[in-house]
Amino acid sequence: MAIPIRNIVFDKIKEAKRLTDVELFKSLVKDGHAIADDRFNKILLDLEILGLITVSWITKEERRIEIVIVEEKIDKIEQQVKETMESDYEASFPGVDK
């Protein structure tokens, strides 16, 4: 089963964290994944719409592509409740010391 080209492009971007569209295109061609410009732009657009990458213009001819880093927001109250439940669970076993 072949890996979709969108996944290959995303893996290349994820590996580099930040690169230009020219560098990405050259890297894909080097690995044997020659794709048309319109298909390449469609893949970048799809990945940007999915919220996986950001694309911004550097110059008139070149774009910067960056991976989007999603930070997981931890609720302090949920964290305290979870810790309390874990300690209560551990305390429910009589005769077992930490």
Q: What is the pTM of this model?
A: 0.68
Q: 59 lies in a domain? A: yes
Structurally, the chain folds into a number of domains equal to 1
Confidence band, pLDDT 50/70/90 cuts, at residue 98: low
Q: 3 lies in a domain? A: yes
Confidence band, pLDDT 50/70/90 cuts, at residue 24: very high
Q: 22 lies in a domain? A: yes
Q: 98 lies in a domain? A: no
Q: 30 lies in a domain? A: yes
Domain span at 53: 1-93
The average pLDDT across 35-59 equals: 93
| Residues 75-95 pLDDT 10s | 888 888 888 988 888 877 776
Helix (H, G, I), strand (E, B) or coil at 94: coil
What is d(CA 42, CA 6) in angstroms, rounded to the nearest whole number? 9
| Tokens 């919220």, residue located | 51
Q: 18 lies in a domain? A: yes
Q: 89 lies in a domain? A: yes
Q: 51-69 burial, b if ≥16 CB within 10 A, otherwise e?
A: eebeeeeeeeeebebebee
Which domain CATH number covers 32? 1.10.10.10
Q: How many CA within 13 A on the CB side of residue 59?
A: 5
The average pLDDT across 42-62 equals: 92
Q: 55 lies in a domain? A: yes
